[in-house]
Structure 1
Amino acid sequence: MDLRRLASFLAVAEEKHFGRAAARLYLSRAAVTGHVQQLERQLGSTLLTRAPVELTPAGERLVKHARVLIDTANAAAADLADLRVDDRPFRVGIMGHGSAELTPASMRALRRARPDLRIAVVTLDFSEGESALLEDRVDVAFVRPAPVDERITVDVLTTEQRVVVVPDSWPVAEAPGVRLADILDLPFLSMPEHTPRSFTDYLYFAAARGGEAPRRIPDTALTPHDVLTSAALGRGAGSSLASFTRYYPWPGTAFVPVVDAPWDQSVLATRTGDRRPEVRLMRSVATKLSRELGPELGLVPRT
C-alpha cells in the first residue's frame, strides 16, 4: 500500500478539508484528491464523503491502520538513519538573491572553513521556502520571509525596508516613496495555491489589508524573473526587500520604497534539531557575517 496515498488520506481525515490537507503536506489539492481516489479504487471502498468531508465506516477503520503504518515507516527510517552511508553534497537552497551579499559571503566562509565539503546550490522558487527543507531536498536555505513552522529554525540575517516593484509607466513609479495606502489597490501578481501563507502575506502586505484580498492579475510569479517580466510588460506589481533593487535593475521596471511598511527579514532556515556539524557551521558563519557586514551593507539597521 502506497504510503503517500495513506499520508494524503490521513491528512484529509484529520483536517476535514482537502485544501488544508494539501497545504499541510505541501502538495497541490489535485494531488491529494488523486491520492485519495486511487486509494479508494485500490480498496474498493469509499473512504470519505465530500462536502462536508467526513469519514465513512471504511474510512474510520483505515485511519487506525494508516497511523500505524506511517508511524512504523517513520520509526524504521529513524532507526536506520545512523547506518546510512550518505555521500550527498551539502545542499544549500537559495530563493532569489537569498540574503543579498551575505549569501555569497557565507558560502565563501563555509568553503574556507571546510574545504573538504562538497557543496551543491539548489535554486528555490517562492513556494519552496518551507517544503524544500521539510521534504529533505536541501540542508539549509536562504529564504524570505521567515517560515512559520515549528519544524523549521530560522536565523535572521537581514532586516530591510520593503519595496514595491511596478511598471515604470505607472504613476506610482515616479514617487520617491509611497505609503501602504497608495499601493494596496494595485493589481498584484498571483501565486500558486501551494505557496506558504507566510510568503503570500509578505508579498501582498496582508497585515495592512484588514482581511481584504489583493487585486490579482492572472500572471503567476514563482521567481524574481516572473515578477520583473510582468512589471516590464506593464501588467502587474510585486514586492520585495530593498536589496532586490541592487540585484535586479530591469528596463521598464521601478522599485519604490514603501515608507510606512514594517521592515521585513531574510533568514537562514534549517530543520529544527539538525545538529550536523556542517549545518551548525553554516549557521555560525552566516550569523557572524550578518553582525559584522550587515550594518555596513545596509542589510541590518545600525544600533
Structure 2
Amino acid sequence: MDLRLLSSFLAVVEEGHFKRAAARLFLSPPAVTQHVRQLEAELGTRLLHRNPVSPTRAGARLAGHARTLLAAANAALDDIADVIREPLDEVTRPLRIGIMGHGSAELTPAAINAFRRARPGVPVELRQLNFTEHVTALTEDRVDIAFVRPAPDDERVVADVLTTEQRIVAVPEASVIADAREEGVRLAGIIDLPFVRVPGHTPAPFTDYLYFDHEAQRRSPDCALTPHEVLTGVITGRAAGSGLKSFARYYAWPGAAFVPVLDAPWESSYLAVRADDANPEVKIFRALTMALAPELRPRIER
C-alpha cells in the first residue's frame, strides 16, 4: 500500500476538506483527489462521502490504521537517520519499559506488541513499577519508558495522556459500600475508609491520586507498594484502595468489590519518558503508542 495515498486520505479525513488537505500536504487539490480515488480503487470500496466530506464506515476504520502506519514510517525514518550517525560496532541496547499496575489497560500490551513487530531486532525488557517509582524509575535511568498515573510532576519527565477513566474504590465484598457497585458512591461516603498506607517517600502526585486528594484520612495498618498488596489488604478486610475503572478488569479478585466514585474527577494514565532522551527506540515506541491510543481509548474508557 502506497503511503502517499494513505497520507492524502488521512489529511482529507482530518481536515474534512480536499482543498485544506491539499494545502497541508503542499499538493494540488486534483492530486489529493486522485490519491483518494486510487486508494478506493485499490481497496474496492468508497472511503469518503463527498458532500459534506466525511469518512465512510470503511474509511473510519482505515483512518486508524493509517495513523499507525504513518507514525511508524516517520519513526523509522528518524531511526535510520540516527543509525547512520552511530558507531558501527555499537551494540543494540534493550528498550526498558516500566509498567505501574496494569499500565494503560489493553493499550499497554498492544503498544508493546506493535513495537516488537516494528523493531524485532531490539530486545524489550519489562519491569513492574511500584508506587514509589512514579518518577524515579525514569530519572534514575532504570527504565526508558513508563506507563504511569497520574502525570509526573517533574521537569525532567514528559508525559502523554493515553486514557482517561472513571475512578473506582476497592472495598471488601462484605462491606456495605460494596452494595453500591451498580449505582456508585460519592466521595463523602468513602473519605473515612481505612485506605491502605504507602511509604512516606511516595511522590505527592501519586498519594493525592490514591486518596482522592483528601489528606485527613484514616489509614489501614497495612502498607502497600503494589496493586497486589492493596488487594491483599482489601480481601482480608483491613484496607480500601482506589484505581481507574479498568483496574476491575485486571484485578478481579474474589472477595474484592469495585465501586464507581461518581463525583471524583476522572483520571488519566500516561506514557512518560525522560525529557532529554534522544534514544530513537523511545521515539518509535512513543509514536506507535500515540497512534494506537485513539483506536483503543473508546473501548477502555467506556
1:86 and 1:269 map into 2 onto residues whose CA distance is 25
Q: Report the alpha carbon displacement of residue 298 of structure 1 after superposing the two structures with TM.
A: 3.1
Alignment match, 1:229: 232
2:184 is equivalent to residue 182 of structure 1: no
Q: 1:162 to 1:149 in 2, by over 3 A?
A: same
> Superposed, which structure 2 residues align to 1:125-274 within 5 Å?
125-175=130-180, 176=182, 177-206=184-213, 209=214, 212-274=215-277
The counterpart of 1:284, out of the listed 284, 287, 290, is: 287
Q: Report the alpha carbon displacement of residue 85 of structure 1 after superposing the two structures with TM.
A: 5.3
* AA partner of residue 208 (structure 2): D
Q: Report the alpha carbon displacement of residue 275 of structure 1 after superposing the two structures with TM.
A: 2.4
Superposed CA deviations along residues 113-170 of structure 1, whole A, max 9, x for unmatched, are 1111111001111111200000000000011111111110001111000000011111
SS of aligned partner of 1:298: helix
> Superposed, which structure 2 residues align to 1:24-43 within 5 Å?
none
SS of aligned partner of 2:151: coil
Counterpart contact for 2:178–2:259, Cα < 8 Å? yes
* AA partner of residue 90 (structure 1): L
Superposed CA deviations along residues 249-288 of structure 1, whole A, max 9, x for unmatched, are 1111100000110000111100002222111111111111
2:130 and 2:190 map into 1 onto residues whose CA distance is 24
Q: Report the alpha carbon displacement of residue 87 of structure 1 after superposing the two structures with TM.
A: 4.9
> Superposed, which structure 2 residues align to 1:111-130 within 5 Å?
111-130=116-135
1:242 and 1:213 map into 2 onto residues whose CA distance is 24
1:86 and 1:96 map into 2 onto residues whose CA distance is 31
* AA partner of residue 298 (structure 1): I
% of aligned pairs identical?
A: 59
**TM-score, with normalisation over the residues of structure 2?**
0.68
Alignment match, 1:110: 115
Alignment match, 2:300: 298
Superposed CA deviations along residues 5-28 of structure 1, whole A, max 9, x for unmatched, are xxxxxxxxxxxxxxxxxxxxxxxx
SS of aligned partner of 2:133: coil
* AA partner of residue 93 (structure 2): R
2:149 and 2:91 map into 1 onto residues whose CA distance is 29
2:137 and 2:91 map into 1 onto residues whose CA distance is 18
2:139 and 2:160 map into 1 onto residues whose CA distance is 17
2:216 and 2:206 map into 1 onto residues whose CA distance is 14
RMSD after superposition: 1.6
The counterpart of 2:102, out of the listed 97, 101, 111, is: 97
SS of aligned partner of 1:156: strand
2:229 and 2:139 map into 1 onto residues whose CA distance is 25
Counterpart contact for 2:94–2:122, Cα < 8 Å? yes
* AA partner of residue 210 (structure 2): L
Alignment match, 2:14: none
Of the structure 1 ranges 238-247 and 109-118, higher mean CA displacement relative to structure 2 is found in: 109-118
Corresponding residue pairs, total: 214
Q: Report the alpha carbon displacement of residue 88 of structure 1 after superposing the two structures with TM.
A: 3.4
Superposed CA deviations along residues 208-237 of structure 1, whole A, max 9, x for unmatched, are x3xx42110120111111011100001110
* AA partner of residue 199 (structure 2): P
Alignment match, 2:35: none
SS of aligned partner of 2:120: coil
Gaps spanning 5+ residues in structure 1: where? 1-81
Gaps spanning 5+ residues in structure 2: where? 1-85
SS of aligned partner of 1:284: helix
1:260 and 1:275 map into 2 onto residues whose CA distance is 41
SS of aligned partner of 2:103: coil
